[in-house]
Amino acid sequence: MTVRFKQFPGVSLSEEDFRQGKVLYQMDELKAEYAWDSGIAIGAYLAGLKRGVILGVRCSHCRKVVVPPRTVCEWCFRPMEEYVELPDTGTVNTFSLCYITWDMRRISEPEIPAVIHLDGTSELGPSSVIMGGILHKLGEVDPKEVHIGMRVQAVWKPAAERTGAITDILYFKPIR
Amino acid sequence: MSDRVAIVGVGWSGFRPKTPDLSYKELMYEAAVRAYADAGVDPRRDVDSFVTVAEDFIEGTSIFDEYVPDQLGAALKPVHTITGDGLHGLATGVMLIRSGIARVVVVEGHSKASNLLTPDTILAYAQDPVLNRPLRLNTHFVAGMEMHRYLYESGTTREQCAAVVVKNRRNALRNPLAAYGADLSLEEVLFGPPLAWPLGKRETAATTDGAIVMVLAAEEVARALRQDPIWIRGIGWCNDSPSLESREWGNLPYIQEAAQMAYQQAGLRDPWNEVDVAEIDDTYAYKELQTLEALGFCGYGEAGSLLESGAFDLDGELPVNPSGGSLGVGHMLDATGLMRTLEAVFQLRGEAGAHQVEGAEVALVQSWRGVPTTSGAVAILSN
């Protein structure tokens, strides 16, 4: 994993250990369900993903192009209505090698979350404080090979399996 | 530093039981655009600090402050979220201005109640996890017990409580923003489905979606921005002992204390004669009567018969909840205090239309965070 950590010491506690009463606690399970109305901008974005397109939006005032779309430019507070179809390629802006899963299991083959600066969107710089980035995972790549500035492309779910969700893109892989 | 703080702009959006067409961010943005246009301010240039009220359990998102700035024009500006009612947010705005930290403050509250698919579970999570929650009682039982003890001690009747529903939902018919206007008979309320006896389901406010944004300003800024700022003359808040086992069920001492705090700031001595219109808690019908008494508008146990005499009607001596209140407009979760403040601003500006109280100059706004809390706030506004 790293130079000093070749493996984790000890045994991690599992959900089962708690369930079997090996650890003392007061138990209450929160069964909360929420929906999130996706609305105009994110609704359009998700519909775009379903048909295999990444939609961004352009601010007619400051000319920024950002992804995902939103109805207001957070920088100049003008409405954003000019939707643009973006290529599904971009450049890794930052990434991490993540040795713990969503549900707190340690893993020795890391997951690779990354911010991908999509082609055709605004860059951070003197003219913009907002980048057109998409947060996703990288796949089909050796963790040791990943680097900032790496060129990547989206790998999509088959069209029939897409549901209009961020997971319609499986991951981004290096462009070779 | 400024001693006087005014509301110089208000905006709203939604006010419908469901808003599937807009995300919560878009709901907030619509309200914000209206408020900034109303105040004549540019949030990027003119606003110094932003406050939102939100409860993470209700949002379904931890650390909700993070999801606020963009749609309010607050990116890279001072922003924080308060887990409280809209009036707590308003109080924070007043403090920011009176302390000299900010001259223009935006306060926001919203409800996406329709997206909350298990509201009773979330409500249950306000109960003590060790002592009360394991009993697995629907949290509305707290209102049933409070109503029962209040009726027992004060001599108020179930009919008088039901009459609050009739009044407020009729008022709502005159308010285009109100979702639950209805012309109900006393019997229809009284013999409706039960909820937590003696409390009936029709005496309990249904939820609605919406967002409210208000722009507050220090006196010199307020006078420069508009001819008719609405002054926040006093604002108080208070919490009682939260314990269900030991609280005073028949009375609302925390509302009495919050009111005294607000009255003292406003120099208000005789609420009955000095207040022209009141927007107060009616999450459950009995609360309106119990709260009127705690606010000192009348003696304990007197609000019911005053209501029956028509004193709290739209054309009565003290119109109470001319908007329709939570029963008529719909309950907007923690945005409720701002919903009531919005109505007070309309009334004091003379912009309330068909439910305008003639010549309203001083308004009282009060809010409660709902069962099982003893958390309330009171504000006095004037034109």
Residues 6+ apart with CB under 8 A from A135: A113, A114, A115, A116
What pLDDT score was predicted for residue B2? 61
Region A65-70 average pLDDT: 95
Question: CA B237, CA B91: separation in Å to the nearest integer?
Answer: 8
Whether the Cβ atoms of residue B296 and residue B145 lie closer than 8 Å to each other? no
- A with B: how many residue pairs have Cβ under 8 Å apart? 74
pLDDT at residue A128 tops 80 = no
Amino acid at position B19, single letter? T
More reliable by pLDDT, B92 or A8: B92
Secondary structure class of A143 (helix, strand, coil): helix
A139-158, pLDDT tens digit by residue? 999 999 999 999 999 999 99
Would you call B24 and A35 a contact, using CB atoms and an 8 Å cutoff?
no
Which of B13, B23, B42 to probe by mutation at the A interface, max A CB count within 10 Å? B23
* A6: confidence class by pLDDT, cuts 50, 70, 90: confident
Instruction: Give the other-Cβ count within 10 Å of B176's Cβ.
Output: 11
CA A58 to the chain's CA centroid: 21
Would you call B70 and A74 a contact, using CB atoms and an 8 Å cutoff?
yes
Would you call A75 and B75 a contact, using CB atoms and an 8 Å cutoff?
yes
Q: Which of B24, B29, B42 sits opposite A71 (nearest CB)?
A: B29
Domains of chain B listed by start with CATH number: 5-117+208-225 (3.40.47.10)
- Residue B318 C-beta-side C-alpha neighbours within 13 Å: 24
Q: What are phi and psi of B307, to 5 degrees?
A: -60, -45
How is residue A37 annotated by DSSP? -
Q: Which of B26, B44, B133 sits opposite A77 (nearest CB)?
A: B44
What pLDDT score was predicted for residue A26? 72
* Minimal CA separation from A4 to chain B, in Å: 34
Question: CA B262, CA B252: separation in Å to the nearest integer?
Answer: 16
Paired with B82 in beta bridges are B53
Would you call B26 and A71 a contact, using CB atoms and an 8 Å cutoff?
yes
Q: SS3 sequence, chain B?
A: CCCCEEEEEEEEEEEECCCCCCCHHHHHHHHHHHHHHHHCCCHHHHCCEEEEECCHHHHCCCCHHHHCHHHHCCCCCCEEEECCCHHHHHHHHHHHHHCCCCCEEEEEEEECHHHECCHHHHHHCCCCCCCCHHHCCCCCHHHHHHHHHHHHHHCCCHHHHHHHHHHHHHHHHCCCCCCCCCCCCHHHHHCCCEEECCEEHHHECCECEEEEEEEEEEHHHHHHHCCCCEEEEEEEEEECCCCCCCCCCCCCHHHHHHHHHHHHHHCCCCHHHHCCEEECCCCEHHHHHHHHHHCCCCCCCCHHHHHHCCCCCCCCCCCECCCCHHHHHCECHHHHHHHHHHHHHHHHHCCCHHHCCCCCCEEEEEEECCCCCCEEEEEEEEC
* Minimal CA separation from A62 to chain B, in Å: 14
Dihedral sign for Cα atoms in the order A163, A164, A167, A171 = positive
Whether the Cβ atoms of residue B181 and residue B167 lie closer than 8 Å to each other? no
pLDDT at residue A127 tops 70 = no
A39–chain B Cβ distance below 8 A for any pair: yes
Instruction: Give the other-Cβ count within 10 Å of A37's Cβ.
Output: 19
Nearest CA in chain A to B27: A39
Q: Which two tokens stand for residue B196?
A: 């937590």
Cβ burial of B373 (10 Å; 0-12, 13-18, 19+) is: middle
B267-277, pLDDT tens digit by residue? 999 999 999 99
B42–chain A Cβ distance below 8 A for any pair: yes
Q: Which residue has the tokens 């700031």?
A: B265
Residues 6+ apart with CB under 8 A from B77: B47, B48, B49, B50, B69
Helix (H) or strand (E) holding A45: helix A39-50
Chain A residues whose CB is inside 8 A of the B23 CB are 36-43
Q: What are phi and psi of B157, to 5 degrees?
A: -105, 165
Question: CA B247, CA B240: separation in Å to the nearest integer?
Answer: 8
Question: CA A9, CA B133: separation in Å to the nearest integer?
Answer: 38
Residues of chain B with pLDDT under 50: 1
Cα–Cα distance list, B345 to A122, B157, B236, B325 (Å) = 42, 33, 18, 14
What pLDDT score was predicted for residue B328? 98
What residues of chain B, 105 to 144, have a C-beta less than 8 Å from chain A? 112, 114-118, 121-122, 125, 129-130, 133-134
Closest CA to B294 of B327, B265, B318, B258: B258
A78–chain B Cβ distance below 8 A for any pair: no
* Minimal CA separation from A131 to chain B, in Å: 14
* A5: confidence class by pLDDT, cuts 50, 70, 90: confident
The ranges assigned to domains in chain A are: 37-174
Cβ burial of A40 (10 Å; 0-12, 13-18, 19+) is: middle
Q: Which of B24, B69, B114 sits opposite A74 (nearest CB)?
A: B69
A35–chain B Cβ distance below 8 A for any pair: yes
What pLDDT score was predicted for residue A18? 80
Question: CA A76, CA B127: separation in Å to the nearest integer?
Answer: 43
What pLDDT score was predicted for residue A129? 72
Closest CA to B49 of B108, B7, B110: B108
Cα–Cα distance list, B11 to B26, B105, B207 (Å) = 13, 14, 20
Which of A72, A76, A130 to probe by mutation at the B interface, max B CB count within 10 Å? A72
Omega before A68 within 30 of 0, i.e. cis? yes
What pLDDT score was predicted for residue B302? 98
B349–chain A Cβ distance below 8 A for any pair: no
Nearest CA in chain A to B123: A32
